[in-house]
A and B are shown apart, each in its own frame.
Chain A
């Protein structure tokens, strides 16, 4: 499929909820979208564009903002697609993808506890890799390596 055709198809389905499309090697590109429109974007990408498998949800801390990334696979197109959204502010949050792809459930729990991104309407947002009550988001850049004793104090009630 020619690149322009694909860009037009994306623009037709996503409209102005899409901010940009950046080419990415061996995929159909990186789509950056507005986080307010996450629910419509997920529906459109799943139902209209045929990306029926969510491989991964992840998050990146860029210090001034946090980025949440979705890796999608389509059996029909035999191709990957990246979705990403920039979240600004102290308490970044975005709509959950687990209503569209149920497999997002645990990925979002992991992203929530490690990068500190809140997923609205998530069915079961609990700690996944850390014990309940863990007081840190360890993959944030503001997280310093702790002396073991310090960590112990913070997690003693576990």
Chain B
């Protein structure tokens, strides 16, 4: 293999001086780019200094929390699962007619990629510890919506021998959606209310 032609820029390597573009000599300099580069050189340290001073003054959380809240509310990824009949409405909400994806809500099949668990159906004692395991596998920050009467309080099966009377016995719930089942509109309303909650989150 022959040596690389000399007029090509060297690849950037840490510890080496930046490459000199061949056209800097040949072609006339582009003043706009140079000015921008100069500005950036001055701006970055100045911005760093100003940001450092603001963080020292107000605390890191005050500054970053709104950014995180904004990002969190705009991309809620619910866990893609179904426990009982409410799951049908859950599925319908992501279908063509109600299209929940326009709110940035995309169901994911792995709890590691989720920050929202929508408990859509009857929770039995048999499935209870699997639900808790899935919840614990989700990365922080995470939210839980209890969808329908069953997840809220046991619903029609409250006194049954096999049903957990409300999923809040197992995991902390942020929002309850009433209905048996709730219509997809109600589910979308719940998601928007949760986004409101996230936007106002302080700690």
Contact = CB atoms under 8 A, between A and B. Distances in A.
Contacts, number: 35
A146 interface: yes
B165 A155 contact: no
A151 B128 contact: no
A138 interface: yes
A158 B125 contact: yes
A91 interface: no
Interface of B: prevailing SS: loop
Contacts of A152: 164-165, 169
A131 B158 contact: no
Contact of B165 (A138, A143, A148, A158): A148
A130 interface: yes
Q: Which of B126, B166, B169 has the most CB of A within 10 A?
A: B126
Given A148-B154, A152-B169, A138 B161 contact: yes
A158 B124 CA distance: 12
A101 interface: no
Interface in B106-154: 125-126, 128-129, 154
A107 to B, nearest CB: 18
Contacts of B129: 131, 158
Interface in A106-158: 129-131, 134, 136, 138, 143, 145-149, 151-152, 155, 158
Given A152-B165, A152-B169, A146 B128 contact: no
B162 interface: yes
9 contacts: A129-B126, A130-B125, A131-B126, A131-B129, A143-B161, A146-B161, A148-B158, A151-B161, A155-B125
Interface of B: 125-126, 128-129, 154, 158-159, 161-162, 164-166, 169
Given A134-B125, A158-B129, 4 more contacts: A129-B126, A151-B161, A152-B165, A155-B125
Question: Nearest 6 pairs between A and B by C-beta?
Answer: A148-B165, A138-B161, A145-B159, A131-B125, A131-B126, A155-B125
